Structure 1
Amino acid sequence: MRVRFVGQDGAETIAEGLEGDTVLRFATDNSVDGIIGECGGSMACATCHGYVDDQWIDKLEAPGEAELAMLSGCIDVREGSRLTCQIVMTRELDGLTIHVPECQA
């Protein structure tokens, strides 16, 4: 399975991983710049914030209350903002595009 990460400079990284892994795992296993995941995916830091590409937003389940609370502390939250540790890859999401924020916090 693949996830396409697009950096602020437009550079793309195609990350490969397994169905059932989180998008954060795809990013960290493939050394994607800008997706940090300091807490290891336990939804305690929000350093895995990313923007789901418009064409994919409707294919994801809506974020839960805990994720929305964590996102409220992120810089430059916008439509499509998600914590990549909360997106679990399925066959339907193969090819997902995530835009990497300029900074994490």
Structure 2
Amino acid sequence: MIHITIEDRDGTIETVEVPEGINLSLMEVLKASEYNILATCGGMALCATCHVEILSGLEMLHEASDEELNMLDTLPDADENSRLACQIRLDERLDGLHVKIKGSLD
């Protein structure tokens, strides 16, 4: 199992278990776990409504693409720990990842 700790906008913290080899993005897992994520663009890195802050495990992630970085640059609260959940593919290397949901609700 892959264990992802998620801090919601209201400060609630929960650990979600994801089966290894599921081949989903973090955004898809967040939506399936009933977190309020708009994901307006459907995971194409075009809207930034799935913005998350990586609280622990940033070093385990692949480098952000130019498209992802360009979208993050449009956000006033993005920083060096910001990523788009739609661009994070979950695999066993990400066991222990800790994220905070920051994406907009409108």
Do they fold alike, i.e. is TM over 0.5? yes
Q: Pick closer, same or farther for the CA change 1:28–1:102 going to 2, 3 Å.
A: closer
Q: TM-score, normalised by structure 2?
A: 0.83
Whole-angstrom CA distance in 1 between matches of 2:18 and 2:59: 22
Give how far 1:104 is off. 5.6
Identify unmatched segments of 5+ residues in structure 2: none
Give how far 1:23 is off. 0.4
Letter paired with 2:77 = D
Q: Pick closer, same or farther for the CA change 1:30–1:73 going to 2, 3 Å.
A: same
Q: Percent identity?
A: 28
Q: TM-score, normalised by structure 1?
A: 0.84
2:83 is aligned to 82
RMSD, matched Cα: 1.9
Identify unmatched segments of 5+ residues in structure 1: none
Letter paired with 1:64 = S
1:36 is aligned to 38
* Pick aligned residue for 1:24 from 24, 27, 32: 27
